[in-house]
Amino acid sequence: MKVLVVGGGGREHALAWKLARSPLVREIIAAPGNAGMARFTRTYPVPAHDIEGLARLAEDQECDLTVVGPEVPLTLGVVDLFEQRGLAAFGPTRACAALEGSKWFAKDLMLKAGIPTAAAVATTDRDEAVSFARDMGYPVVIKADGLAAGKGVVVARDEREAVAAIDDAMVNRRFGGSGEMVVVEEYLEGEEASILAFTDGQRFGLLVPSQDHKRALDADGGPNTGGMGAYAPTPVVTPEILNAVTDEIIAPTIEAFSSIHGLTYRGVLYVGLMITTDGPKVIEYNCRFGDPEAQVTLPLLNGDLAAIMLSVVNGELDPSSVGVSPGHAACVVMASGGYPGKYARGKVIHGLSDAEAMEGVTVFHAGTDLVDGSMVTAGGRVLGVMGRNGSLADALGRAYRAVDAITFEGERHRTDIGYRALSRQET
């Protein structure tokens, strides 16, 4: 079959890479794609948010399946539009994508369904938000209600930081309309983890648990980013915790869509967790694959991704088709200097071929372009360098050796991906 992959980041490169390994897939096209994806797909300059343009492209190219990578087209209703036109698309409908599009929608669903999560309140009034933060006690979490590209969450250690975060969202409108409402949330102590599940609205199959590194700098310093690296599996998710997540979070979440909202959630469900002394609690949901979690979970997926996605779309998922391969995968993000703030573009990337020739290494492109025959930077997160091997230390070693082979002006990356797991192993 012919598959359209929507998006142009590292997640979408990983999705296309995995789909290309399916015997069901004869051709992949991407919109808009990136320079790395263009090596094995045909790319079309249709922005991911242009859902009408994407539908026309899928019709013109006679695509059998469209896989939607980013959250924006999902929240705009791209799957609804495709269904109206008789086109198969993997991902939740607009109503279901509110799980990520609105932090309060997600929180309200959890509270009504009894899913373990942090206490929270929401408001559209700036002064009330400040008062809520003070009453909640510090540290406290301030979240822009809507989409903010992974940058709308601030852990405020005191009132000064809380007021600054609230004003940033509600007064300065850093996130546009997404900050008109803020969610003030209890701070949870523990270690974070991510679990992704394929679901057809009734049944579900889990990918391997992973751990993202959202802070820009080593030792979790600096501002939040879209993600500076990830690894899988993560030892913080023990078999007992995984059972608790399955029974107390994932199954009730899928059921709550039906029982509370009368909806069927189909696609991939991303659950961001805090593993606390009281057990796992939800800190966020996403309605699509994580980035960079996709770059480590998809390489460890033992199953035909195209077949799994088709079964989800058709409401016929066999959970046993979602298997987990042995070993570990680790991804290190190479970013432009200044990210997640302002950064330069057009810097020539050197050493890609040397890195890609290394055994057990795959380089996923996130923000690249091909200009006059040279690969150049075209985004904040430029590359996701993935290493895979039997142990986490070996997988990280492969990834970092490949990172050392690649250079571009202003490049920076975290040097401590997987440090929590390595520390736990040493202990």
Q: Is residue 103 part of a domain?
A: no
Q: Do 306 and 381 belong to one domain? A: no
Question: CB atoms < 10 A from the CB of 126, how many?
Answer: 15
Q: Is residue 99 part of a domain?
A: no
As a whole number, the mean pLDDT across the chain is: 96
182-195: per-residue pLDDT in tens?
Answer: 999 999 999 999 99
| pLDDT above 80 (res 149) | no
Q: Do 311 and 369 belong to one domain? A: no
Helices (H), 137-283: 159-170, 239-245, 251-261
> Which residue from 229, 150, 226 is spatially nearest to 379, judged by alpha carbons?
226
Helices (H), 145-268: 159-170, 239-245, 251-261
Instruction: Read off the pTM.
Output: 0.95
Q: Do 284 and 350 belong to one domain? A: no
CB 390, CB 233: distance < 8 Å: no
**Where residue 156 sits, what CATH number does that domain have?**
3.30.1490.20
CB 200, CB 213: distance < 8 Å: no
CB 330, CB 231: distance < 8 Å: yes
Q: Is residue 311 part of a domain?
A: yes
Q: What's the domain count of the chain?
A: 4
Q: Is residue 97 part of a domain?
A: no
212-256: per-residue pLDDT in tens?
Answer: 999 999 999 998 899 999 999 999 999 999 999 999 999 999 999
368-397: per-residue pLDDT in tens?
Answer: 999 999 999 999 999 999 999 999 999 999
Q: Do 307 and 333 belong to one domain? A: no
Q: Do 286 and 320 belong to one domain? A: yes
Which of 282, 307, 324 finishes a domain? 324
> Which H helix or E strand runs over 421?
helix 419-426
> Which residue from 272, 321, 273, 331 is spatially nearest to 301, judged by alpha carbons?
321
Q: Do 68 and 84 belong to one domain? A: yes
Write out the residue range of the structural domain in which residue 410 sits. Answer: 328-426
The pLDDT of residue 4 is 98
**Where residue 357 sits, what CATH number does that domain have?**
3.90.600.10
